[in-house]
């Protein structure tokens, strides 16, 4: 077989076989960058353990593979007066969306993006970067516990990329204890919108529709994970899903075009509170190395009780398009060895060689350069997206980080507020209930 098999039950991507010319680009990226086709049997009905990253779609010159579209269901929800539609946007969307409307690559369009979502009828527009700050509070605290108490498995692996998590569950289930139990930012955001946000705003969770706009097709799979319905248990309402829909950046653009909204003419607007503020550290989650840098800032501040040193506010050893980066940082007298990887095939090499066990903390993102070039980002005229575009998006997020007065999750007043009034402290019982999760082996799964 020359192509990646995409079955009809794949929650993230679809394939239009009439457009496929059999060039094999999809299979090449799946084999050489993602490493799934290198391990899986390609034949057999429904027999391919896709991790849903969509990089096959990102390299398809015929657009034969694309993200499963959900924007029309969200449009129906905003037109339904019974529904309260809460839309949250991931960091990378604001440096990709402008490209769909003639802006230069990497243009930071946060304000217009929020304005566009309001025009489309969202009742509230919130920021996934808020939940990225929360992820760092939880994941960083979890890391410190593993590091300092000697309890828990090291190295700790980041868990915010659902394709990476599924890769571990499928091909290395013995490594599941290495994964942080912290949910991804969109999964934290969804669970909190239907609990904390609903309580504070006096909203009936049954009426809320949670939507995440993301650069990512794998998030469409992630929200279907059976266990991600913690708001349901918390609210005592059967059948509530933490997140109802994920739209890609490209889908948001398609929706705006269908509604004939003139993006260029929009007046920038601000996110709603009380889940709409983020530090610069939350914003850089979109870049390879961004989660690690954000975590190191928080860990440093938490251990020393001081602001992160300048070095960690521009931590170049974990920045850039090199596929594997490593660094050693001294935190309160303890040497912390970290690695940052993109491409699951590259992570596989670290696992196979055993080198991965020489680190304390490892960030893995599946897509090249991180989420800024997730398969849901606009593709533009050149396919795949060239590195110059990736670098422009990366730069835009670092520039935005630099311009923020808040540079760590600990500086974010909305993070202080949620711990003071709702969660108590990182890894509290309530935080464990709503913000952490468990994984399971998929070693036998033919899964989609
Ligand atoms: Fe999604 Fe980001 Fe992972 Fe790509 S790197 S699959 S965009 S979470």
Catalytic residue (choose from 88, 159, 180, 184) = 180
Centre of ligand 1 to C-alpha 17, Å, is 25
Q: Is 142 one of the annotated active-site residues of the chain?
A: yes
| DSSP β-bridge partners for residue 330 | 335
Residue nearest to atom 2 of ligand 1 (CA): 371
Ligand 1: residue of 365, 370, 384 to mutate (most ligand atoms within 8 A of CB) is 365
pLDDT of residue 370: 98
327: left (phi over 0), alpha (psi -120 to 50) or beta: beta
Residue nearest to atom 3 of ligand 1 (CA): 161
Q: What is the 3-state secondary structure (H, E, C) of 227-279?
A: CCCHHHHHHCCCCCCCCCEEEEHHHHHHHHHHCCCCHHHCCCCCCCCCCCCCC
Is the distance from the beta carbon of residue 159 to the nearest atom of ligand 1 less than 6 Å? no
Three-state secondary structure call for residue 13: strand
Q: What are 177-211's pLDDT values in tens digits?
A: 999 999 999 999 999 999 999 999 999 999 999 99
Q: Is 227 one of the annotated active-site residues of the chain?
A: yes
- Mean pLDDT over 436-444 rounds to 94
Provide DSSP, 321-374. S-SEEEEEEEETTEEEEEEEEESHHHHHHHHHHTGGGG-SEEEEESSTTSGGG-
What's the chain's average pLDDT?
95
> What is the Cα–Cα distance from 37 to 30, expressed in whole angstroms?
5
pLDDT of residue 447: 45
> What is the Cα–Cα distance from 308 to 410, expressed in whole angstroms?
11
Extract the tokens encoding 11: 């929650």
Centre of ligand 1 to C-alpha 248, Å, is 11
Percentage of the chain exceeding pLDDT 90: 92
Q: Who contacts 292 (Cβ-Cβ below 8 Å, separation ≥6)?
A: 158, 318, 338, 340, 361, 363
Centre of ligand 1 to C-alpha 421, Å, is 32
> What is the Cα–Cα distance from 415 to 200, expressed in whole angstroms?
15
Residue 375 CA, closest ligand 1 atom number: 7
Is the distance from the beta carbon of residue 370 to the nearest atom of ligand 1 less than 6 Å? yes
Catalytic residue (choose from 33, 99, 142, 293) = 142
Q: What are 90-138's pLDDT values in tens digits?
A: 999 999 999 999 999 999 999 999 999 999 999 999 999 999 999 999 9
| DSSP β-bridge partners for residue 188 | none
Q: Is 352 one of the annotated active-site residues of the chain?
A: no
Q: What are 34-67's pLDDT values in tens digits?
A: 999 988 766 555 568 999 999 999 999 999 999 9
pLDDT of residue 366: 98
106: left (phi over 0), alpha (psi -120 to 50) or beta: left
Catalytic residue (choose from 110, 169, 222, 363) = 222
328-337 contacts at long range (C-beta below 8 A, 24 or more positions apart) = 329/296, 329/300, 331/296, 331/299, 331/300, 331/303, 331/304, 332/300, 332/303, 332/304, 334/147, 334/148, 334/303, 336/147, 336/296, 336/299, 336/360, 336/361, 337/361
| DSSP β-bridge partners for residue 248 | 214
pTM over 0.95: yes
Is the distance from the beta carbon of residue 193 to the nearest atom of ligand 1 less than 6 Å? no
List the one residue out of 11, 18, 368, 20 whose CA is nearest residue 3. 20
| DSSP β-bridge partners for residue 88 | 126, 212
| CA-to-CA separations, 298 to 9, 165, 302, in angstroms, rounded | 40, 23, 6
> What is the Cα–Cα distance from 44 to 1, expressed in whole angstroms?
11
Q: What is the dihedral of CA 71, 77, 80, 86, to 10 degrees?
A: -120
Q: What are 385-426's pLDDT values in tens digits?
A: 999 999 999 999 999 999 999 999 999 999 999 999 999 999
pLDDT of residue 43: 55
Q: Is 371 one of the annotated active-site residues of the chain?
A: yes
Catalytic residue (choose from 115, 371, 379, 414) = 371
Catalytic residue (choose from 105, 138, 139, 363) = 139
Q: Is 293 one of the annotated active-site residues of the chain?
A: no
Q: Residue 448: pLDDT above 80? A: no
Three-state secondary structure call for residue 433: helix
Ligand 1: residue of 36, 54, 135, 163 to mutate (most ligand atoms within 8 A of CB) is 163
pLDDT of residue 309: 86
Residue nearest to atom 6 of ligand 1 (CA): 53
- Mean pLDDT over 269-291 rounds to 98
List the one residue out of 200, 154, 254 whose CA is nearest residue 418. 200
CA atoms within 13 A on the CB side of 158: 34
What crossing angle do the helices spanning 344-353 and 162-171 adopt, rounded to 10°? Answer: 40
Is the distance from the beta carbon of residue 59 to the nearest atom of ligand 1 less than 6 Å? no
């Amino acid at each position: 077989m020359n192509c990646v098999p995409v079955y009809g039950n794949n929650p993230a991507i679809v394939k239009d076989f009439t457009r496929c010319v059999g060039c094999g680009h999809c299979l090449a990226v799946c084999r050489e960058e993602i490493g799934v086709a290198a391990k899986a049997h390609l034949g057999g009905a429904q027999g391919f353990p896709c991790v849903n990253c969509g990089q096959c779609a990102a390299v398809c010159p015929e657009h034969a593979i694309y993200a499963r579209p959900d924007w029309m269901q969200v449009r129906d929800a905003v037109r339904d007066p019974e529904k309260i539609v809460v839309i949250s946007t991931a960091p990378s969307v604001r440096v990709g969306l402008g490209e769909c409307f003639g802006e230069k690559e990497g243009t930071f369009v946060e304000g217009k993006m929020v304005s566009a979502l309001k025009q489309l009828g969202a009742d509230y527009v919130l920021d996934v970067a808020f939940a990225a700050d929360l992820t760092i509070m939880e994941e960083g605290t979890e890391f410190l516990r593993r590091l300092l108490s000697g309890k828990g498995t090291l190295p700790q692996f980041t868990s915010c990329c659902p394709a990476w998590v599924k890769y571990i569950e499928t091909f290395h289930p013995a490594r599941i204890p290495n994964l942080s139990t912290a949910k991804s930012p969109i999964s934290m955001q969804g669970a909190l919108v239907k609990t904390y946000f609903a309580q504070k705003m006096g909203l009936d969770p049954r009426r809320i529709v949670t939507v995440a706009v993301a650069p990512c097709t794998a998030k469409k799979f992630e929200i279907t994970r059976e266990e991600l319905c913690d708001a349901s248990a918390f609210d005592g309402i059967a059948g509530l899903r933490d997140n109802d829909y994920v739209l890609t950046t490209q889908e948001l653009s398609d929706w705006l075009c269908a509604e004939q909204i003139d993006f260029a003419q929009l007046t920038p607007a601000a996110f709603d509170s009380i889940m709409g503020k983020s530090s610069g550290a939350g914003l850089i989650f979109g870049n390879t190395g961004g989660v690690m840098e954000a975590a190191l800032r928080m860990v440093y501040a938490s251990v020393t009780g001081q602001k992160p040193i300048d070095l960690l506010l521009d931590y170049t050893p974990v920045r850039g398009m090199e596929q594997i980066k490593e660094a050693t940082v001294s935190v309160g007298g303890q040497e912390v060895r970290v690695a940052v990887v993109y491409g699951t095939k590259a992570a596989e090499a670290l696992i196979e060689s055993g080198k991965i066990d020489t680190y304390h903390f490892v960030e893995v993102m599946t897509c090249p350069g991180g989420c800024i070039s997730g398969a849901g980002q606009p593709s533009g005229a050149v396919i795949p997206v060239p590195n110059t575009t990736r670098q422009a998006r990366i730069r835009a997020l670092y520039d935005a980080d630099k311009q923020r007065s808040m540079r760590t999750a600990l500086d974010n007043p909305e993070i202080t507020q949620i711990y003071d009034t709702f969660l108590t402290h990182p890894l509290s019982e309530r935080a464990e209930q709503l913000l952490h999760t468990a994984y399971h082996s998929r070693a036998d799964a033919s899964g989609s």
